[in-house]
Amino acid sequence: MLIVVAAAMIDADGRILVQQRPAGKPMAGLWEFPGGKVDPGEVPEAALVRELNEELGIAAEASCLAPAAFASEPLGDRHLLLLLYALRKWQGVPEARHASALKWVRPLELHGLDMPPADKPLIGLLEALV
């Protein structure tokens, strides 16, 4: 099982940040909630704070991460478990350091995006959350 953490960053207008996976990576072109793999021995919240800093250049605090929803997707002969956290407060302005693009969307607009299999089932839960 591969454990992956991701953030539903929610701004003051109730929009959510998604990033587009770059060419050359698996699932290139798909829009995802930012995040990445949890390293061995790493606490999930710490992994997400690290990933958000690496990918977006923002500073978030683990204590601001609220567990929101979980989903899994097949990954070859293994499974990927995606842990999604809601985040409403951070420091800095997100910039696309790894992604090919960023955008802020309304929860309903997420249905129209091509997202990785694990991200899709989380959309409905976000509508209730925002």
116 binds, among ligand 9L3, Mg ion, none (CB under 5 to 8 A by kind): ligand 9L3
DSSP label at residue 83: E
Query: Which CA distances in Å does 33 have to 17, 41, 77, 128?
Result: 7, 23, 24, 17
Residue 73 vs 130, nearer CB to ligand 9L3:
73
* Measured distance CA(84)–CA(7) in Å, rounded: 6
- With CB under 5 A as the contact rule, the residue among 3, 15, 36, 117 that binds Mg ion is 36
Residues 60-79 that bind ligand 9L3 (CB under 6 A): none
What gap in Å lies between CA 9 and CA 41, rounded to an integer? 25
56 sits near ligand 9L3 (criterion: CB under 6 A): no
Residues at the site binding ligand 9L3, with contacts judged by CB under 6 A: 4, 6, 25-27, 32-33, 35-37, 80, 82, 116, 118-119
